[in-house]
Structure 1
């Protein structure tokens, strides 16, 4: 009699826990977009906890799905913490997508549904379906989506930011894979070997209090939790190989998934699992399950620290909206060492085991190279239609320019255009002069874009001509920098 009961129970569990396409293939075959679509539609149909919707369609007309987890109407309970995870911006980084589907099943288990007493969670399992189908990095337009969060030219990133602006998530995570198999590392004899790596925000314009919570509480928590699940985890550390190049805490650029939301004072992270050699299905089960463990960690930490996170994010965002922030905005930055010695395990090609390695050139600190005074706002020429379109894509608040708001105006003159090093890349660096405008300006030809809004820091970083992270560094806006001419975007000062 006891054996019969066990068989019935197992059968019942099988019915309520539908296998993902990856599980059905015994972790040997990547999930196609059609399979992902079918799986999401079926779990949506069978569960009251979740609902799904199509955010947009890709360049090649594949759907981008959002999966909402909530015990009531999503976003209606203002006391709940809103968490967003999105995966597979790069099509050849497949484990984030697979982990997302595993996570859906994990969260449907009764043991995990307590999370939604305090959290409303939204999951975008696959940002780049076109790249995924071809196992290639870029989308159907040939664009790297994780370099598109400032200019927003692609339907996938536009839809994601529209979603963020609608709900103003307090917590976000962008899920990727890193590739540790470079030839230079092989020559060194070592490579990275962590199942999961996590990076917190690094742009110094973001709230220091949010950074402190990220580095002092969340990162140790995720490292311990993932280890308890049987996997390895560490900081996300680009750069190297050791001895040939420095190691750092990822980029400070605001055009990626983590920093573009972080610059709005969001508790924001990037998670990178280890890819398969040659971007293959190698070790796919471990890759997917370890990524899922890291994603689950974010939800558990958010649940445990709901009140602390929600209060902190509300306070720090209010400062941006009221322009109660520092007078200076850093627009040129670099990585520096503060003398901290980094020790971490690398896989040895010689011994076939993890080996403790010491890094002397660890540049753990980001500092400003060039600041600007934060203005009251900017005058945007109406003739520059693409700038109006950019403001609309970012849901920025702007209005007709009026004299009482624009009584003091500054303009830049582009003396010449040089170059500057930006994380081993060479970009433009104009030499400029700044003066107050004394001549009368026809304000009817301008929009006034104030900075006292949530995207305060982003606006300044995007529009300043010397910003190494600004619009002028992109091809479609490079015409704004013409030597021996005035910069058409004007600064309004207090």
Structure 2
């Protein structure tokens, strides 16, 4: 079966992880004295799973901290000796030089991306530790890798390929801090790719094109929840699929059934409580609104959806608890990993067909229908359960709720056939290429019909997510408002042509439509006129108001196919 694939950029690298056994080292910023201490009556409500032997470094007897980078590397090295189905790639290095390993499980003779794309099996990507102070998913990823390597997961590898990135943010894991070494929130960097860590993950998506993605996190248990509600969070797991603009309907339906249904059933069978993922503003203690995970095209969950993957975020109860309930937390993530891989294996043929059909459908939609440029979550009412922090009694909270399952369109436009970037916009064109998008150069000047973006408002702003902030750094942006106008455009040689007749068309839309905080315009990847360049025209309108002459952006939309002489950008 032929699947869409860009030229593979690099071959498999051997894993050189070292054989030395290193002593455990306390993670730099992890201080057990700062852990939140639940009262005994709450602790009793979360018993450890019985008869579960994880066999991973954090569960060594008397270990008081978490798995270090060196312990992880040595553990993976030992796994490679026990399994012919496991190969390890180093997909990149962190900002501080730590290795980012990718574990590739397949029963194919070769596990190069070219081979896995053609072996007739869907590929599942499990990713953990984007946030360095959320260790349980990373430990679960190691436990699941161990189970796969030892042949304890049945015959799933006869029907799927499994990729595991157990530590996406090794610097944060080593310092026990949420963000990357430069303060960027990795989970908000999957469209802009401003960090080596996000670029390494993008390379995995480009090369292997995973059909299913699970992104593991932990969520805060106390803190603002105690301050706002006098209660701690109670759900073992919070789950949410991709929820962003322009997701294919068939993909969204598949995420709900069979995948979300299977994960939820697994939790219930094993006595674990669950909910939709939600959070609340951590800056405004008077605001008790609960919000599902956002709809922006920046998180791994949503970007994976725009890359046409069945995609889930799983958050377990854990941030702020130190090693309390650690086995239960890891077990929660492990069960989800097992469930999502087994579901992919059970529906292997259907997944391959779905991926092929969706890629074809998206390509065929170029120039047809409408797109949502900007949307917002829909306000609703919802009830969640918490635990009184002082009495351990159950608390029912009936709250205002922002639902990401229902996106209300704010700005819509016709779906273009293609976008054009002026020849000055090399940075944006290269960024699209890094995302895996096909970009062409115009090699002969001519005039065509196009739509021009006119900038009508431009101001400095800060990025926000549903918690009120994004990361330690990287939060500044330029908020713009535009309008589009039909023009006759003289296209010069060297312009960049980005067709939407390609499977990543919806990812292109997220990058190039200007009005969202994740767009290339908002983040300076496309040239903006200076704010002072918005000039007044001479004269006045009939109402006596002075008109403002909008400035043009070096970005254009084509609503129909144009006869352009093109060369694929190298």
Class of the TM-score when normalised by the shorter of the 2 chains:
0.7 to 0.9
1:255 equivalent to 2:298? Answer yes
Aligned to 2:16: none
1:238 equivalent to 2:288? Answer no
> CA separation of 1:324/1:416 partners in 2, compared to 1, >3 Å: closer, same or farther?
closer
- Superposition map of 1:442-461 within 5 A: 442-461=491-510
CA drift of 1:314 comes to 2.0
My pick for the range that moved more, 183-192 or 173-182, is 183-192
Aligned to 2:554: 488
1:288 equivalent to 2:330? Answer yes
Deviation track 1:21-53 (CA, whole Å, cap 9, x = no partner) reads: 112245632000011011101111221121111
Aligned to 1:10: none
Q: Is the 8 A contact 1:345 1:354 kept in 2?
A: yes
- Superposition map of 1:180-259 within 5 A: 180-239=221-280, 244-259=287-302
> CA separation of 1:342/1:433 partners in 2, compared to 1, >3 Å: closer, same or farther?
closer
Deviation track 1:258-304 (CA, whole Å, cap 9, x = no partner) reads: 11110122101111112242x63333222222211122111122122
CA drift of 1:455 comes to 1.4
CA distance in 2, matches of 1:328, 1:318: 18
Aligned to 2:439: 398
Deviation track 1:318-338 (CA, whole Å, cap 9, x = no partner) reads: 11223368521112111114x
Tell me the C-alpha RMSD between the 2 structures: 2.7
Aligned to 1:359: 399
- Which TM-score applies when normalising by structure 1? 0.88
Aligned to 1:40: 76
Aligned to 1:68: 104
CA drift of 1:197 comes to 1.4
CA drift of 1:184 comes to 4.9
1:269 equivalent to 2:312? Answer yes
> CA separation of 1:136/1:346 partners in 2, compared to 1, >3 Å: closer, same or farther?
same
Deviation track 1:41-83 (CA, whole Å, cap 9, x = no partner) reads: 1111221121111111111111000011111133165321111
Deviation track 1:241-263 (CA, whole Å, cap 9, x = no partner) reads: 99933333311111111111101
- Which TM-score applies when normalising by structure 2? 0.77
Name which of 347, 368, 393 aligns with 2:387: 347
- Superposition map of 1:77-476 within 5 A: 78-239=119-280, 244-277=287-320, 280-323=322-365, 327-337=369-379, 342-359=382-399, 361=401, 363=403, 364-401=405-442, 407-417=448-458, 423=466, 428-438=478-488, 441-474=490-523
CA distance in 2, matches of 1:186, 1:151: 35
CA distance in 2, matches of 1:405, 1:119: 48
Q: Is the 8 A contact 1:198 1:271 kept in 2?
A: yes
Aligned to 2:85: 49
CA distance in 2, matches of 1:99, 1:325: 44
> CA separation of 1:406/1:194 partners in 2, compared to 1, >3 Å: closer, same or farther?
farther
Q: Is the 8 A contact 1:376 1:451 kept in 2?
A: yes
Name which of 95, 99, 105 aligns with 1:59: 95
CA distance in 2, matches of 1:265, 1:120: 17
SS at 2:155's partner residue?
helix
> CA separation of 1:315/1:404 partners in 2, compared to 1, >3 Å: closer, same or farther?
farther
Q: Is the 8 A contact 1:481 1:487 kept in 2?
A: no
> CA separation of 1:282/1:111 partners in 2, compared to 1, >3 Å: closer, same or farther?
closer
> CA separation of 1:90/1:435 partners in 2, compared to 1, >3 Å: closer, same or farther?
same
> CA separation of 1:320/1:487 partners in 2, compared to 1, >3 Å: closer, same or farther?
same
Q: Is the 8 A contact 1:414 1:481 kept in 2?
A: no
CA drift of 1:228 comes to 2.3
CA distance in 2, matches of 1:60, 1:174: 23
CA drift of 1:490 comes to 1.7
Give the gaps of 5 or more residues in structure 1: 1-16
CA distance in 2, matches of 1:396, 1:405: 24
My pick for the range that moved more, 41-50 or 184-193, is 184-193
My pick for the range that moved more, 417-426 or 108-117, is 417-426
Q: Is the 8 A contact 1:226 1:297 kept in 2?
A: no
CA distance in 1, matches of 2:384, 2:257: 18
Q: Is the 8 A contact 2:79 2:149 kept in 1?
A: no
Q: Is the 8 A contact 2:446 2:492 kept in 1?
A: no
User: Whose helix proportion is higher, 1 or 2?
Assistant: 1
Q: Is the 8 A contact 1:176 1:270 kept in 2?
A: yes
Q: Is the 8 A contact 1:342 1:360 kept in 2?
A: yes
